[in-house]
Structures are given as structure tokens and as C-alpha cells.
Amino acid sequence: MAQAPVTASGQGPVLLALRHVGKVFSNGVTALSDVDLTIREGDFLSLLGPSGCGKSTALRLIAGLSTPTSGVLDWRGAIDRSNIGFVFQEPTLLPWANVFDNVWLPLRLKGVSRAKAAPAVTEMLARVHLTGFENAVPRELSGGMKMRVSIARAMVTKPRILLMDEPFAALDEITRFKLNNDLLELWQDERFTVVFVTHSVFESVFLSNRVVVMAARPGRVHAELAIDAAYPRDEVFRTSPDYAALCRQASDILVNAINTSAGPHHDGH
Ligand SMILES: Nc1ncnc2c1ncn2[C@@H]1O[C@H](COP(=O)(O)OP(=O)(O)O)[C@@H](O)[C@H]1O
Ligand SMILES: [Mg+2]
């Protein structure tokens, strides 16, 4: 059953606080400068910003895949790498392994046998609507289905925090909407914490209770917008005046963030 809906930021206990976090790469690029960000348990927090504003860098720092060059990440409560799930834009599945075995992988790496893992794998596949596809291999799946496998693989260890780096950016809009809906359903049922990177205003507003808008050169937090709309959110919300108004607000903040970015406006990947 869904728990009490989160309608605004600042309700759950603090899970992680980034304090004055900076990241300067060895080539001299300041990817992040003086980032202060508090992530609360149960948040669905989006990092929204233009290409190059340090979204992926921030996510990698939170994942422990990289370390800050200044500032600290202050984790509250015991959390280790197995409490963190990561979903990338590319589903990065093992091409020779079937769906079941791809989702089993993180448990297998922890020493859990196929038989012992089966209930958890089967449950996660049901949660992402892939029951019946256990024996399919990745090349037989659509892009959306591959992403579902990737989400099931990240969630099979029941992480407390799920980090997603533009997971749906390569999908068509209909598939993206479906995955947005299904991800929200999963989040509402399990009530883990999500940090979601996107450059889509519409996606960030639809999904999140908090949208953190970032600016580039140097990458930094520009502003935060609370999305005060109740969950569950569905197609009614997606077509509502409230949603349109919030998207306009987020879009204005994003335009402002882009205009305050120093240096040449560049590329676009
Ligand atoms: N490993 C790296 N070495 C040097 N520069 C990097 C590295 N990774 C990212 N950058 C630079 O840091 C900045 C932020 O990158 P990134 O976090 O990937 O931004 P985003 O995900 O918002 O597009 C960019 O200017 C990028 O070129
Ligand atoms: Mg990125």
C-alpha cells in the first residue's frame, strides 16, 4: 500500500547533506563549486540543469564513484554502497545473459545463489512489469524494456537511495511517460529516496517533490523549487493547469540559471 503522500520538501529525516562540495578535475575544470544540498529520506529530488552543469558529477560523488576536492558529504545513519542503487542512461545490461540473470547479478556478486535470489528477482520483475520476460536476452527487448531491467537490477538489493542519471532521455515520449508513471508507483510503494538527473523541465516537475535547478561554469545550485502537488500523480496531473503552472515556474528558473552561467554557451550532450 502507498504510504502517506509527500507533498512538500523538508518532511523526512535528513539522509545526506552535501556541504560546500566542490569538484575540480585534474584538467582544471571546476565541475562543482560550493554545493550545499540536503537530501531527506523519501525525497524524490531532481537535479535539473543544462549540459555541463555538473549533474552527473554530483551523482557520482553521492554514489561514492568519485570524491570531492573540497567540502564533505555527510551521511546520516549507517549507509554503505549496497544501500545505493544506480541507473545510467544506457541500461548497461550483460548482452549474453537473460533478463533474470541480469537482475540477479548484484545479488550474485554478494554471494546469493540463483535459487536463493529467485523470489527477490521474480518480485522485482513483477514490479517493473516484466513478468514473462525472464528468459529474454537484451537484444530481444525494446529500449523501454531494457530500462525496466536496469531499474529492477538497481532495486533488487532494496537500496535506500536510488540514483538515476537521465535514465529515460533516449526513450520516445510515450515510453518515457509510462516509465515515469511506473517509477512513481514503485517509489510510492517502497518509499526509497530518489535523486534523479534530467534536463527535462516537464519530467522533473512530474516526478519530484523537489526540483534543484543547477547552473554551469562553474556547476552550482542555482535555486530550488518545491513541487507542492499530491501523489499519486497520473495523467490527470499531467494535463492539469497546476502542472502547467509549475512547469512554467521551473522553466523560468532554468532560463535564469542558463543566463547566469558564465562563459560561452556550448555544445549539447
Ligand atoms: N572526468 C572528467 N575530467 C574532466 N572534466 C570532466 C570530467 N567529467 C566531467 N567533466 C567536466 O565537468 C563539467 C560537468 O560535467 P557533468 O557532471 O558531466 O555535467 P552534466 O552531467 O550536468 O552534463 C563539464 O564541463 C565536463 O566537461
Ligand atoms: Mg550528465
List of residues 6+ apart from 96 with CB closer than 8 A: 137
Determine if ligand 1 sits within 6 Å of the CB of residue 53: yes
Start-to-end C-alpha separation, the chain:
39
pTM of this structure = 0.93
DSSP per-residue string spanning 4-24:
SPP-SSS-SPEEEEEEEEEEE
Determine if ligand 1 sits within 6 Å of the CB of residue 25: yes
Q: Mean pLDDT for the chain?
A: 92
Note the pLDDT tens digit of each residue in 195-215.
999 999 999 999 999 999 999
Tell me the CA–centroid distance for residue 159 and ligand 2, in Å: 22
Spatial contact of 105 and 139, defined as CB atoms under 8 Å apart: no
Burial (CB count within 10 angstroms: exposed 0-12, middle 13-18, buried 19+), residue 27: exposed
Spatial contact of 57 and 32, defined as CB atoms under 8 Å apart: yes
Determine if ligand 1 sits within 6 Å of the CB of residue 57: yes
Least confident range of 5-14, 33-42, 68-77? 5-14
Kindly give the number of the ligand 1 atom that is closest to the alpha carbon of 199: 22
Determine if ligand 1 sits within 6 Å of the CB of residue 51: yes
Spatial contact of 33 and 261, defined as CB atoms under 8 Å apart: no
Determine if ligand 1 sits within 6 Å of the CB of residue 167: no
